[in-house]
Amino acid sequence: MHLADRCRIVLSGAATALAAAALFAAPASALAPAPAAGCPALPTVQPFTPWQDAADYILAPDGGFEAGAAGWLLQGGARTVEGNEPFKVGRAADHTSLRLPAGSSAATAPMCIGVEHRTMRFFADAASSGALVVTATFTKRNGNQKSVRLGVARGSNAWAPSNVLPMRVNEKAEHFDNAIWVSLSFTPRNADAWLIDDVYIDPFRFK
C-alpha cells in the first residue's frame, strides 16, 4: 500500500471518530442535519431502579445542569439554581437543578435520536396542581421545524421521578437514516413553578 493511501485511511478514520463523538449533542442554535450512520451507542445507567424501572438510560446533554444548562435555550426566567434532586442518581457531588417559573420554558441542546430511543424521563418538584408540558422538536426534510407533544408531567409536592413519556418522534428516524436531531422542551402550563433535574433518554435494547 502506498504511503498516500495509508494517509487517506488514517485521516478518514479520524474524521469518522470525531463525527461520532459529536452526534449526541449539537449546537442549540439550530437542528443540524442528522448523520447517515445512526446514533452512536453511549454508556447507559439505571437511575430509576428504586422506582421499579430497570430500563437503561442515557443523560441528555447537560441533563443534570451541573454545567449551568450548557447548550440549553432558557427563556422567561428559567435558570439553574442551587439544590439537586435529593436522590443523587448522577453523582453524590451534584448540586444544581433547573427552575422553571410560570411563563418560562427551557429546551435542551439538539440530540441524536433513533428509533431505539423510545421514551424519556426526568426528576421534578412542583405543587400537586402543577402541570409541565414536554415537547420534542425536529427539522423535517423540507426544512421546517415540527414540534410534537410527548406528554404532561404532574407535580406531587416533592421531588419525584416523572412518569415515563413516549419519545414519539423516534418513529420519524427511519426516514432520516435512523438519526434525527431532536430538542426537548419543558414549559409550565399554569402559575406553578417547577424544578427539574436529571433528564434521561431510554435507548431501548434487547438483552
Return the beta strands (E) in 35-116 as ranges. 58-59, 73-75, 79-82, 96-100, 105-107, 111-113
pTM of the model: 0.82
Q: Which of these ranges, 6-10, 46-50, 184-188, has the smallest mean pLDDT?
A: 6-10
Q: Return the pLDDT at 19.
A: 39
- Say which residue, 153 or 35, is predicted with more confidence: 153
Which of 47, 44, 137, 111 is closest to 84 using CA atoms? Answer: 47
Choose among 76, 109, 73, 100: nearest CA to 183: 109
pLDDT at 177 over 50: yes
Give strand pairing partners of 195.
Answer: 99, 125
Each residue's pLDDT tens digit, 14-62 = 333 333 334 445 444 344 444 446 899 899 999 999 999 999 999 999 9
CA distance linking residue 15 with residue 21, whole number of Å: 10
Percent of the chain residues past pLDDT 70, beyond the cut? 81
Whole-number mean pLDDT of the chain? 86
Percent helix, strand and coil across the chain, each rounded to 5?
15, 35, 50
Quote the pLDDT of residue 205.
63
- Please state, in angstroms and rounded to a whole number, the distance separating the CA atoms of residues 128 and 165: 18
* CB-based contact 94:64 (threshold 8 Å): yes
Nearby residues of 204 by Cβ (< 8 Å), 6 or more positions away: 55, 116, 117, 118, 119
Handedness of CA 54, 69, 163, 84 (dihedral sign): positive
Q: What mean pLDDT is predicted for residues 122-143? A: 96
Supply the pLDDT for residue 119.
Answer: 97
Cα–Cα distance, 97 to 86 (Å, whole number) = 11
Q: Give me the pLDDT at residue 23, please.
A: 41
| Beta strands in 69-193, from DSSP E residues, in sequence order | 73-75, 79-82, 96-100, 105-107, 111-113, 117-125, 131-139, 145-154, 160-161, 165-166, 180-188
Our CA angle for 70, 136, 48, nearest 5°, is 75
Between vectors from CA 109 to CA 143 and to CA 162, what angle results, nearest 5°? 115
What confidence tens digit (pLDDT) does each residue in 91-103 have? 999 999 999 999 9
pLDDT of amino acid 30: 43
Domains of the chain plus CATH, in order, are: 3-203 (2.60.120.260)
pLDDT of residue 37: 64
Of residues 7 and 108, more confidence is placed in 108
